[in-house]
Amino acid sequence: MGKLPTIAVCYIAAVDDSQLAERRGPTRMTDALPEYNIVDMRDRTPEDLSPSELEQLQDVEVAFILYMPDWLLAACPNLKWIHSFMTGHDHIPLPQLKERNIRLTNGAGTAAIEIAEFVIARVLEHWKSFPQIAALQVEHKWRPVFGRALSDAHIVLVGYGPINQQVARLLAPFDMRVTAVRRSATAPSPGANRVVAFADLNAAMHDADIVVAAVPSNDDTTGMFNAEKFAAMQKGCLFINVGRGTAVVEADLIASLESGHLGGAAVDVASEEPLPPDNALWNSPVRISAHCSATLPNTMRRVHELFFRNIAKFATGERFENEVDL
């Protein structure tokens, strides 16, 4: 084997080694790859780098990132491969990667199980009337509040990638009717009773009790869930978004809830993050969470394990897992 590549590690300072500790496998980069030269760029700026550190970046061939600052991309002229924690890549300058023949892999599927669990929790919270029950306890009122049965309810899973496939798997014991919505209606869709293409989304939602959106951010999905789509859902439908905030026209979502058409909504993502204090979502009926449906230790363990498998493939020239077609 020839000279091993230098790896630049760049992710948010809030994610430190203590948070990544996990008994079931190595997650610390230096522990797992002791023979590699690791350049730690977490929370760094070009202004606080020494000349020797800037010179080190000249040798970087691999970047392990949550985000890719323009300055870091420019400072790594020999960069050959970027591995992003995230599934989406709207935070990465794809045209520059294509121009420089830099390969890109992502973390698709690494957080799917935990995000699916979060979806199930939101479904049960709403379906079993937990907020109303909790409110009655605060008021010291003994009043039965009966939830609804999930059996035979219809759930429409929009974007049938790893997240919604896990949602379908976890829902199997509830005996629900599951419709998967994806680009191709002929694609294999385990766990779904029916598969439809995006073009037929409105028709698929007309009798939906629950709609779960888990779509990436791109030109096709931006503003996908607007007033027309919410009107196409049956009255009382629960809407959940764990994909990208840009897929939802938030003003239309709020309006549909306030009109009484939608029965409830929960979003773990927003069109602007962090959500500004004056954003209308804060004071709306929408249940919001701060992009935290994943579980950090488990997800990060899988992120690292995927990267470790791919770094071995990089060294031998094998095909990457989760490579993005640029």
Active-site residue among 244, 301, 302, 304?
244
Is 126 catalytic? The answer is: no
Asked if residue 78 belongs to a domain, the reply is yes
Is 273 catalytic? The answer is: yes
Examine the domain organization and report whether 117 and 97 are in the same domain: no
Examine the domain organization and report whether 30 and 135 are in the same domain: no
Spatial distance between the Cα atoms of 60 and 80, rounded to a whole number of angstroms: 8
Mean pLDDT of 212-217: 94
Asked if residue 322 belongs to a domain, the reply is no
Spatial distance between the Cα atoms of 148 and 124, rounded to a whole number of angstroms: 9
pLDDT band at 7 (very low <50, low <70, confident <90, very high): confident
Examine the domain organization and report whether 63 and 167 are in the same domain: no
- Does 267 have pLDDT greater than 90? yes
Mean pLDDT of 143-160: 96
Mean pLDDT of 240-267: 98
What's the confidence (pLDDT) of residue 160? 96
Spatial distance between the Cα atoms of 260 and 187, rounded to a whole number of angstroms: 35
Q: What is the pLDDT of the chain when averaged over all its residues?
A: 89
Examine the domain organization and report whether 257 and 300 are in the same domain: no
DSSP structural state of residue 176:
-
Examine the domain organization and report whether 301 and 259 are in the same domain: no
Query: Is residue 8 within 8 Å of residue 49, measured between CB atoms?
Result: no
Active-site residue among 177, 291, 305, 323?
291
Is 99 catalytic? The answer is: no
Asked if residue 43 belongs to a domain, the reply is yes
What's the confidence (pLDDT) of residue 2? 52
What's the confidence (pLDDT) of residue 175? 96
Query: Which token pair is 161?
Result: 């990638």
- Does 12 have pLDDT greater than 70? no
- Does 22 have pLDDT greater than 90? no
pLDDT band at 10 (very low <50, low <70, confident <90, very high): low
Examine the domain organization and report whether 117 and 93 are in the same domain: no
The whole domain housing 99 covers: 6-110+296-316
20/11: higher pLDDT: 11
What's the confidence (pLDDT) of residue 274? 94
Examine the domain organization and report whether 31 and 65 are in the same domain: yes
Examine the domain organization and report whether 101 and 146 are in the same domain: no
CA nearest neighbour of 244 among 219, 263, 210, 278: 219
pLDDT digit string, tens, across residues 87-100 = 878 778 899 999 99
Question: Which CATH number does the domain housing residue 179 bear?
Answer: 3.40.50.720
- Does 276 have pLDDT greater than 90? yes
Examine the domain organization and report whether 179 and 102 are in the same domain: no
65/181: higher pLDDT: 181
Active-site residue among 99, 258, 273, 318?
273
Asked if residue 255 belongs to a domain, the reply is yes
Examine the domain organization and report whether 78 and 128 are in the same domain: no
Structural domains counted in the chain: 2
Whole-Å CA distances, 317 to 1, 105, 174, 261? 11, 14, 45, 54
Examine the domain organization and report whether 204 and 98 are in the same domain: no
